[in-house]
A and B are shown apart, each in its own frame.
Chain A
Amino acid sequence: EPEVTQTPSHQVTQMGQEVILRCVPISNHLYFYWYRQILGQKVEFLVSFYNNEISEKSEIFDDQFSVERPDGSNFTLKIRSTKLEDSAMYFCASTRGDGYTFGSGTRLTVV
């Protein structure tokens, strides 16, 4: 069964550093998303991406965050100048309309 692949599975970074989280969505999917889940809390929407541009972003997705689809397969989330409160699981998801498939996630720990 097709999968959404995320790397790395776990990243530890120092506060103030930049991180890039990577995702390979399912190949025939057209809509891509990033969500995050702080430990013990809800899954929260960050941003959606379609046709090489952001289609919607949440209040969380401020200037610290950016997304990119640098080639035909990868979809990245960049967090500039990380803060302690950015520590969370970050999930990539994709869909072609019949259900949203989530990647296995990247656990980001900011120390």
Chain B
Amino acid sequence: QKEVEQNSGPLSVPEGAIASLNCTYSDRGSQSFFWYRQYSGKSPELIMSIYSNGDKEDGRFTAQLNKASQYVSLLIRDSQPSDSATYLCAGSFSGGYNKLIFGAGTRLAVHP
């Protein structure tokens, strides 16, 4: 059973701080990972994708992937109140354009 695990939170950080979100997965055959942001009652919005070991940066966001440890993370620098949302980690396993398996999401609260 392929699974993606996340701490449900809430993770509370002050405005301007770095928020660190973590995710582990069960299947070593995983290929691609995605971080989505989901505001309450809305659809998932893609923030970052990462396919190979190491770091990938896009603006205030950095995704990190460690396939040996089966671990994915998302760092949000200079956190803003508008970043307050649920962050979903998702994996696409076995290559190709396969289904995404989602974690339960981590709720992030950025307080002024």
Chain A residues proximal to chain B, CB less than 8 Å: 30-31, 33, 35, 41-45, 48, 50, 56, 58, 89, 91, 93, 95, 97-105
What distance in Å separates the Cβ of B92 from its nearest Cβ neighbour in chain A?
A: 8
Partner of B99 from the list A41, A45, A91, A105 (CB cut-off 8 Å) is: A45
A-B interface contact total, Cβ < 8 Å:
52
- Cα separation A42 to B5 with both chains bound (whole Å): 11
Question: Known contacts A45-B101, A101-B46; can you find 5 more A-B pairs with CB under 8 A?
Answer: A43-B90, A95-B97, A102-B44, A102-B46, A103-B43
A91 touches B98 (CB 8 A): no
B46 touches A31 (CB 8 A): no
- Cα separation A9 to B105 with both chains bound (whole Å): 23
**With contacts A99-B46, A101-B46 known, is A42 near B104, CB below 8 A?**
yes
Whether a CB of chain A sits under 8 angstroms from the CB of B78 is no
A48 touches B104 (CB 8 A): no
Instruction: Tell me which residues across on chain B come within 8 A of A101, comparing CB atoms.
Output: 46
Closest chain B residue, CB of each to CB of A56: B99
Whether a CB of chain A sits under 8 angstroms from the CB of B42 is yes
B42 touches A33 (CB 8 A): no
Return 9 A-B CB contacts under 8 Å, by A number: A30-B97, A42-B102, A43-B44, A44-B102, A56-B98, A58-B99, A102-B44, A102-B46, A104-B42
Partner of B103 from the list A42, A89, A93, A102 (CB cut-off 8 Å) is: A42
**With contacts A42-B102, A56-B98 known, is A100 near B43, CB below 8 A?**
no
Closest chain B residue, CB of each to CB of A43: B102
**Leading 9 A-B pairs by shortest Cβ distance:** A31-B97, A43-B102, A45-B99, A102-B43, A105-B43, A102-B44, A99-B46, A42-B104, A99-B49
B49 touches A98 (CB 8 A): yes
Partner of B100 from the list A30, A97, A100, A105 (CB cut-off 8 Å) is: A100
- Cα separation A35 to B104 with both chains bound (whole Å): 14
Instruction: Tell me which residues across on chain B come within 8 A of A102, comparing CB atoms.
Output: 36, 43-46
Instruction: Tell me which residues across on chain B come within 8 A of A100, comparing CB atoms.
Output: 34, 46, 90, 92, 100
